[in-house]
Amino acid sequence: MASDTPTLENPPSTLDPRRWIAFAVILAAGFMDLLDVTIVNVAVPSIQKDLEAEYSQIEWIIAAYVLSFAAVLITGGRLGDIYGRKRLFLIGMAGFTLASAACGLASDPTLLIGSRFVQGAMAGLMVPQILAIIRVTFPKHERAKAIAIYSGVGGSASAVGLSLGGLLVQWNLFDLGWRPIFLVNIPVGIAALIAASIVMRDSRSAHAPRLDIAGMILAIGAVVLLVYPLTEGRQKNWPAWTFIMIGAAAVTFAAFVVYERRRARTVGSPLIDLDLFRSRPFTVGLSSWLLFWIGMGGFFLIWTLFMQAGLGWSPMRAGLTSVFFAVGAGIGAGTSVSVLAPKFGRWVLMAGGLITAGGFGLYGWLATHYGSDFASWQMVLPLIVTGTGFGIVVAPTIDMLLGQIPEQEAGAASGLLNTGQQLGLALGVALVGIIFFGQLDHDSARGVDAVTAQTRTELSTAGLPGPAQEQILASFRACVRDRSAAVDPSAVPDSCRGTGGDARIATTLADAGAEANAVNFAHTFRYTLAWGIGLMALVCLGFAALPRDVKLEQHEIVDLDDELVGV
């Protein structure tokens, strides 16, 4: 290793005058990564129709990215320590750009799923270098500013992905439909590659660790064994192998812990330094961080389902409505980092969790109150409240939790925090999907009961006798029940086909079906958000375990805007 190569232990003797330009490059990379976590959600109907995909394949198009990302993330950080962080960043960015092109050109669901796996894996190589590069590039008095900016911008990217995805699908650029949601990464990726190769300094660990191949295989195996059955179980009607795989995940995780402890005592260079978990505040804080992202991953899924499958909104309308969440996230992130966190420490994180829970509760109540009449402007307040809570938690958490462990262990700890975020998103999609669709099936009669009286009146007006009305209403009830129980919410069950050829009856039943569907989705949305509220309560309890005096140092974040001007 060259003697002038910076390391975490031996930072550069002179400040890099291009450090803020390099920071802008890695900021763009981090933004692209988190953008691709959610940008697919609003494009689901278009992708499904164009590729004639089964709904289980659609779920994998969403989950493949975060699953492979979470599985590769820690290994990616270790590879950067060994072979150089700039090199791994460039490899990851190049692979991410090529995989994005493959996603945009995919001709069938299998190719798209495979490309998403590769895209996530390349992000897993790229992203863990970001915090390490920040730590080795910036002096201590600037480092907290950079981490805070990165956390805030990255946190809002998930919401921006929903907005941008909706716009790109609706614009149908060059008649490409949904494909620009992936193709947009190509020019950004190329520009970032060129800029990073010019302005970014390389760095690596002063004491190059050995690659823990066995630990890597066990870690990836445990993640896959857990997430795969959770994603596939519902549509397969929970066969025995799904529970066997979940049990095997627990066994594999236990084997991973035993192996890592033994490797730390003998060979050294474990994939995860388990000594990090000796810090109780860090361990509980990391658990809270994981639960927070489980709740948010589930929210992003059911939110887009409610707007599109429940209310029948277009991708553009759903995407533009989600802008208000991004606005709230920006407000929360900026306020927490610049004003609140330096003064109030852990209380800010707890308040952020409570505000998020309050936003969930308000959103759920308004959904059931307005039902199919829920308008975009009526979602503004709950989305801003939820987004504000989200931003308050996301922006300062990484810096606060890293402060709970020794300086020399910060690189490994930041890798765990990134892994917790991605694994939480993947688990949120899988777990909350189970809750949401299970409740939608269980509660299908609610929507029918809400529209039966009006439908009966309209059938009477059309001149149908009583027995015929009862027969049609019975068929209508079966249709709504079968649609709610369907694995694919966009599928049309056999019980919903045919109305006897009468256009008036067909129109009446179509309107009633849309209303019943909206009622069912609204109540299921509120029910599932109640689980999210419970998760946020646990998040608050976890953050309460942080030391009373944990906070961002005020002198490290003042003049934030002045630093941004110099980028």
* pLDDT the model gives residue 99: 96
The pLDDT-based confidence of 361 (bands split at 50, 70, 90) is: very high
**Same domain (yes/no): 193, 303:** no
448 part of a folded domain = yes
> pLDDT tens-digit profile of 124-152?
898 888 877 887 788 877 776 777 677 66
Residue 113 clears pLDDT 90, i.e. is over it: yes
Average pLDDT, the chain: 83
Mean pLDDT of 283-312: 90
Higher pLDDT, 29 or 381: 381
Residue 225 tokens, joined: 């064994």
* pLDDT the model gives residue 382: 97
CATH of the domain at 25: 1.20.1250.20
* pLDDT the model gives residue 408: 62
* pLDDT the model gives residue 558: 35
**Same domain (yes/no): 256, 291:** no
Percent of the chain as helix, strand, coil, to the nearest 5: 80, 0, 20
The pLDDT-based confidence of 115 (bands split at 50, 70, 90) is: very high
7 part of a folded domain = no
**Same domain (yes/no): 447, 369:** yes
**Same domain (yes/no): 255, 363:** no
The pLDDT-based confidence of 6 (bands split at 50, 70, 90) is: low
Give percent above pLDDT 70 in the chain.
Answer: 89
Highest mean pLDDT among 304-313, 378-387, 456-465 belongs to: 378-387
Q: Are 243 and 229 in contact (CB under 8 A)?
A: yes
Q: Whole-angstrom Cα distance, residue 75 to residue 226?
A: 19
Q: Which of 239, 268, 297 is the last residue of a domain?
A: 268
Question: Which of 150-154, 164-168, 179-183 is predicted least confidently?
Answer: 150-154
**Same domain (yes/no): 206, 240:** no
**Same domain (yes/no): 225, 188:** no
Q: Whole-angstrom Cα distance, residue 386 to residue 302?
A: 14
Residue 306 clears pLDDT 50, i.e. is over it: yes
Mean pLDDT of 202-228: 81
Residue 46 tokens, joined: 């278009």
6 part of a folded domain = no
Please state the separation of Cα 205 from the chain's center in Å.
30
* pLDDT the model gives residue 12: 56
**Same domain (yes/no): 183, 237:** no
**Same domain (yes/no): 89, 229:** no
Q: Domain residues for 254?
A: 212-268
Q: Whole-angstrom Cα distance, residue 531 to residue 95?
A: 37
Three-state secondary structure readout of 244-279: HHHHHHHHHHHHHHHHHHHHHHCCCCCCCCHHHHHC
Nearest to 37 by CA among 63, 4, 7: 63
Residue 364 clears pLDDT 90, i.e. is over it: yes
8 part of a folded domain = no
Highest mean pLDDT among 205-219, 278-292, 497-511 belongs to: 278-292
Q: Whole-angstrom Cα distance, residue 483 to residue 441?
A: 8
The pLDDT-based confidence of 498 (bands split at 50, 70, 90) is: low
Highest mean pLDDT among 390-394, 536-540, 553-557 belongs to: 536-540
1 part of a folded domain = no
Q: Whole-angstrom Cα distance, residue 489 to residue 55?
A: 8
* pLDDT the model gives residue 98: 96
Q: How many CB atoms lie within 10 A of CB 449?
A: 11
Residue 413 tokens, joined: 């700890």
**Same domain (yes/no): 396, 341:** yes
Residue 531 tokens, joined: 């689980």
SS3 552: coil
Higher pLDDT, 6 or 223: 223
* DSSP per-residue codes, 131-183: HHHHHHHS-HHHHHHHHHHHHHHHHHHHHHHHHHHHHHHHHTGGG-TTTHHHH
Amino acid at 485: A
* pLDDT the model gives residue 261: 92
Residue 3 clears pLDDT 60, i.e. is over it: no
Residue 350 clears pLDDT 90, i.e. is over it: yes
Q: Which of 244, 268, 292 is the last residue of a domain?
A: 268
Q: Are 162 and 36 in contact (CB under 8 A)?
A: no
> pLDDT tens-digit profile of 386-444?
999 998 998 788 778 877 777 666 666 777 887 888 788 878 888 888 899 889 888 88
Residue 5 clears pLDDT 90, i.e. is over it: no
> pLDDT tens-digit profile of 38-59?
788 778 878 988 998 877 788 7
544 part of a folded domain = yes
* DSSP per-residue codes, 208-222: PPPP-HHHHHHHHHH
**Same domain (yes/no): 126, 264:** no
Residue 562 clears pLDDT 50, i.e. is over it: no
Q: Which of 268, 303, 336 is the last residue of a domain?
A: 268
The pLDDT-based confidence of 561 (bands split at 50, 70, 90) is: very low
Q: Whole-angstrom Cα distance, residue 186 to residue 192?
A: 10
* pLDDT the model gives residue 251: 97
344 part of a folded domain = yes
**Same domain (yes/no): 225, 202:** no
Residue 535 clears pLDDT 80, i.e. is over it: yes
**Same domain (yes/no): 284, 154:** no
Higher pLDDT, 173 or 522: 522
Q: Domain count of the chain? A: 3
531 part of a folded domain = yes
pTM metric for this prediction = 0.84
